[in-house]
Each structure stands twice: as C-alpha cells, then as structure tokens.
Amino acid sequence: MVKPKRPAPRRRPRRLLSALALAAGLLLSGCEFLGLDIFPSSLQNAKGSIDLDARVAAQDGAVIGHVQEIELLGPGATGASYLFVLCGTDLGMRLLVLDPESLATVAYLGDSRLGTPLAVDANGYFVSGSALIDGAFGLSSNPYASLSGKLSVVTASSTNLILFASGGVLSCDERSPDWTSSIGSNAKTISMEYAYYLVDAATPGDGSLELLFRADGSEIKLELTFGSVTSFFTALAASTPTNLADWVKANPTLASATSLSQSSDSLAWLCADGIVAPSYDRESRLVRYDYGSGASLDSRLFRSEWVRGLSFDYGGKTWYYYDSRSGRLYAMEVWW
C-alpha cells in the first residue's frame, strides 16, 4: 500500500520575515526620531519640529546644556507674536526667537542680561530677565533691574504686575508702563502660613487674574482666580491671609480656588481649558484638571526628562517640548 504524500507544512519565507522585521524596525526608529514613540499613532499631533541643538550651534557654536524656558509671547508693540526659547549653553544664556507657525528663526540673542521671566510688558516690549527687547530685537536694560531670575510678570490695566512667592512670603508690585516707578498702594509683601511658591500666573482677556501656587513639602497646588487685578490688591489690603485656601473659602466674592492634591511636580501651567500638571505614579503623565472641582479631565503619557523643557500657552491650542535626547524642539496640538 502506498501512503499518500502529505503536503509539506507551509513556512513563511525567510525573506518575508526579514522584510517584516525591517519594516517594524523602521517604524520604531521613525517614532523614536519623532520623539513620540510612547504616544499611540492617533495622538501624534506634531505640528512641526526643529533640531534646536543644531540651530543654536550654527549661530555661534554654543552647546545647549538645558532649555530653561519656552514661552509664546505677544502681541508686542509691532502686533506680532513669537516663540521665545531661552537656553543655557556653554557660552552663557542664548535666546532663540522663532516664528510660532513655521518655527523659522527670527532672531538670535546672546547677552548676560537675558534670563527669566519671559514676558510682554505694558509698552509692548518683550522682557527677558533684566533686558527689554524692542520690535527690532534690540536690547536695552530694564530700569527694574532686580526683575531677573525668579519673578512672574503679567500685564494688567496698562501696568506691569510683578509677583513672586517663596518661603511663605508673597511679594506684589505694580509698576508703571516704563518700569521706572512703583504704584505704591499696590505694592505689598504678605506672610502665609505655609511655604507657598508661585508656579504660574495669567491675565485672561476678561480682566481676571489667575495665580497658581504649590505648597512646599506637600503635593497640593492651589489655583486662585480674582475677578480683577484691582480686587486682588483690595483683598490683600483688607486682610492679610495666613492660609490662602482657607482665606479664599472665607471670601467667596473675592476669589475662587481650585485645589489639586494629585499633582506632585513643582511645575504646572494655567490654560483656558484647565490646569495642566505632570503626575508621576506608575508612569509619567501630563494631566489636565478642571477648574473649581480639581477633577482629572484627561491625560497623556510623556517622558519625565521633557519636563524642564515643557510649555503650554494659556489661550492657544499648542504646547511645546524640548527632547534632550534628540535635541529637537516640538510644537504639538493639544490633545483636548
């Protein structure tokens, strides 16, 4: 009896397997090139990117050690807005000014006066540390020279509002548009029960003032919204709070508060559609919290090493980050 021959088992051609492996490798390397390999493809909303390290090195040979701050500022006196990227390099501070849409270089500045905060003042000048930058990107010294390094500046009611909170002391000063004089009635230093630090500040178009604090040694972030800058100073003049959260609860007509107990990083950003803050549990996430309730609305994975080079614009639909591993700066559409 002759046994019928059985068909040989089907085997994937080695060339096919090799091709699939190569394609998978290219896909992964492509995602790695984008710096977005931890995001699902449906969330890779990159609007553009540049090789920031190469862009800076091409100007004067400077090597970036860290990106200190990224801010979308404007409109300035000329009506234009720009993306400012402040870099710490081996040659000192460097400020790269980019077109916010194309990310083309508009100006490149190197000066010992450059630093934080990055802001727009009441006259439409751009502020970087103790330097004022005009519409042609010429530099001059700010008459308020002590501004450099650690303060938050917002423009309110045609004046420059300077805010700084550290070690439980909140300092407030309202200056004239040219920075030369202080509006004495609106200059105040108050002590607070807890070691609150100012994380972010914003003045939305409705005239209100939003302040975001963190309490040193705890995970609590406290967001305060005042109806106007005037009501903020009026509230401080009326009584000196010893506990910001309790004080706001006792004065609901003056301000509202949001407490975020889940956010443990020292950084956070006020946005029109919520408060964005890093969260580190089993994984690193950027979480968007609801104003008022403090509830988590949504989140996105991110690499923890991005955190010092992150930026969210208050009213815009773009966020930025610097990937120190690839040296690239990315402009991303927000995920909400």
Q: Is the pLDDT of residue 238 over 70?
A: no
Q: Is residue 289, in this structure, part of any structural domain at all?
A: yes
Quick one: residue 103, left, alpha or beta (phi over 0 = left, psi -120 to 50 = alpha)?
left
Instruction: Name, of 197-206, 219-228, 325-334, the range with top average pLDDT.
Output: 325-334
User: Based on the domain organization, do 297 and 208 belong to the same domain?
Assistant: yes
User: Based on the domain organization, do 198 and 246 belong to the same domain?
Assistant: yes
pLDDT in the model for residue 298: 92
User: Based on the domain organization, do 185 and 296 belong to the same domain?
Assistant: yes
Question: How many domains would you assign to the chain?
Answer: 2
pLDDT in the model for residue 179: 93
Higher pLDDT, 88 or 46: 88
Quick one: residue 219, left, alpha or beta (phi over 0 = left, psi -120 to 50 = alpha)?
alpha
d(CA 93, CA 84): 13
User: Based on the domain organization, do 67 and 105 belong to the same domain?
Assistant: yes
Burial class, 49, CB count within 10 angstroms (exposed 0-12 / middle 13-18 / buried 19+): buried
User: Based on the domain organization, do 193 and 295 belong to the same domain?
Assistant: yes
Instruction: Name, of 62-71, 215-224, 239-248, 281-290, the range with top average pLDDT.
Output: 62-71
User: Based on the domain organization, do 266 and 162 belong to the same domain?
Assistant: yes
Q: What average pLDDT does the segment 69-96 reach? A: 95
Q: Is residue 19, in this structure, part of any structural domain at all?
A: no
Q: Is the pLDDT of residue 325 over 70?
A: yes
Q: What average pLDDT does the segment 123-152 reach? A: 89
User: Based on the domain organization, do 288 and 208 belong to the same domain?
Assistant: yes
pLDDT in the model for residue 188: 66
Structure tokens at 63: 């090597």
Residue 155, amino acid:
T
Burial class, 91, CB count within 10 angstroms (exposed 0-12 / middle 13-18 / buried 19+): middle
Q: Is the pLDDT of residue 151 over 90?
A: no
Q: What average pLDDT does the segment 137-156 reach? A: 84
Burial class, 262, CB count within 10 angstroms (exposed 0-12 / middle 13-18 / buried 19+): middle
Q: What average pLDDT does the segment 297-322 reach? A: 84
Q: Is residue 322, in this structure, part of any structural domain at all?
A: yes
User: Based on the domain organization, do 121 and 181 belong to the same domain?
Assistant: no
3-state secondary structure the chain: CCCCCCCCCCCCCHHHHHHHHHHHHHHHHHHHHHCCCCCCHHHCCEEEEEEHHHHHHHHHCCCEEEEEEEEEECCCCCCCCEEEEEEEECCEEEEEEECCCCCCEEEEEECCCCCCCEEECCCCCEEECCEEECCCCCEEECCCHHHCCCCEEEEECCEEEEEEEECCEEEEEEECCCCCCECHHHCEEEECCCCEEEEEEECCCCCCEEEEEEECCCCCEEEEEECCHHHHHHHHHHCCCCCHHHHHHHCCCCEEEEEECCCCCCCCEEECCEEEEEEECCCEEEEEECCCCCCEEEEEECCHHHHHHEEECCCCCEEEEEECCCCEEEEEECCC
Instruction: Name, of 21-35, 68-82, 175-189, the range with top average pLDDT.
Output: 68-82
User: Based on the domain organization, do 170 and 182 belong to the same domain?
Assistant: yes
Q: Is residue 34, in this structure, part of any structural domain at all?
A: no
User: Based on the domain organization, do 167 and 254 belong to the same domain?
Assistant: yes
Q: Is residue 30, in this structure, part of any structural domain at all?
A: no
Higher pLDDT, 175 or 42: 175
Task: Render pLDDT for 15-67 as a digit per residue (tens, 0 to 9).
Answer: 544 444 444 443 333 333 344 444 443 345 788 999 999 999 999 999 999 99
Structure tokens at 117: 């905060």
Residue whose tokens read 């639909």: 317
Q: Is residue 136, in this structure, part of any structural domain at all?
A: yes
Find the domain containing 60 and state its range. Answer: 42-145+305-336
Q: Is residue 172, in this structure, part of any structural domain at all?
A: yes
User: Based on the domain organization, do 171 and 194 belong to the same domain?
Assistant: yes
Higher pLDDT, 115 or 151: 115
User: Based on the domain organization, do 91 and 141 belong to the same domain?
Assistant: yes
Q: What average pLDDT does the segment 83-102 reach? A: 96
Q: Is the pLDDT of residue 7 over 50?
A: no
Structure tokens at 231: 């009501």
d(CA 140, CA 135): 12
For residue 171, what is the domain's CATH number?
Answer: 2.40.128
Q: Is residue 249, in this structure, part of any structural domain at all?
A: yes
d(CA 9, CA 193): 77
5-19, 230-244, 295-309: which range is least confident on average?
5-19
Q: Is the pLDDT of residue 6 over 60?
A: no
Residue 147 phi/psi, 5-degree rounding, is -65, -30
